[in-house]
Amino acid sequence: MEGNLRLIENKDGIFLLLMAVCALLMFTRWAFKKYYDDLGTLEKFSEKKDNFLLLNGIYMAIFSTLVGLFLLPFVVQWGVWQGYDAYVQLTFLALIVVGYIIIKVLANALIFSLVGYAEILRDFFISRSYFGIFITLGLVAISFLYYFSKIDAQILTYVAISFLAIMFLITLISFYLRTSKEYKFPIYYIILYLCALEILPFAIVCRFILLRS
């Protein structure tokens, strides 16, 4: 795994990129102050505010970039996109993650509409956005450690995967608890959703990462 990281030659560029991410996050703290002020509880955060889609778009771009940074050493090791430098490869990875997120959002909207729960889509996406902020902030810290600390990269790989899995479970449990009193979800809907859109893609990516690390 350490060898994978050595394949990434220009760490200065990665450091500047992570600092730019931090600067963008500081900007969102100023520009979207109401959202940050209400991070204490999901109920306060979910109150209707302006520029929700813009905040989500910024965090989606940051999250996709951080996931791309995490996957970049593996892509370089596997020899994917060999004709391109690391930053172009990172761009490809980030775009793939963005595309996956957009497809999943559309699939979520379609599934909830088909099973008669379209009215709770807002609660679903609010929950995702709320916990997505904490996930992104956690990934920023892990990314700095991943590239610039002396901690074994394989350990940080397990930490990152575990962190994402735990936050994913917390997000779903929180959403279910908030809506289950008003809406009764058939258990097979939940199982189908988890298997098709959440667990399977995550498990496939983790399998390749752990096998190659």
pLDDT greater than 80 at residue 118: no
pTM assigned to the model: 0.86
Q: Between residues 190 and 6, which one has the greater pLDDT?
A: 190
pLDDT greater than 60 at residue 191: no
Average pLDDT, the chain: 82
Q: Between residues 167 and 118, which one has the greater pLDDT?
A: 167
Torsion on CA atoms 136, 138, 141, 143, rounded to nearest 10:
-60
Distances (CA, A) of 166 to 160, 163, 189: 10, 5, 21
CA dist., res. 160 & res. 175, Å (int)? 23
Q: What is the pLDDT of residues 127-171, one digit of tens each?
A: 889 999 999 999 999 999 998 888 888 888 889 989 998 998 888
Q: Between residues 107 and 97, which one has the greater pLDDT?
A: 97
Nearest residue to 130 via CA among 190, 26, 44: 44
Please state the domain count of the chain: 1
Residue found under tokens 């889509």: 121
Confidence class for position 82, pLDDT limits 50, 70, 90:
confident
Task: Give the structural domain span for 36.
Answer: 2-212
Instruction: Give me the percent of the chain exceeding a pLDDT of 70.
Output: 83
pLDDT greater than 90 at residue 59: yes
b/e string for 51-83 if b means 16 or more Cβ within 10 A? eeeebbebbbebbbbbbbbbbbbbbbbeeeeee
Helices and strands in the chain: count of H runs, count of E runs: 10, 0
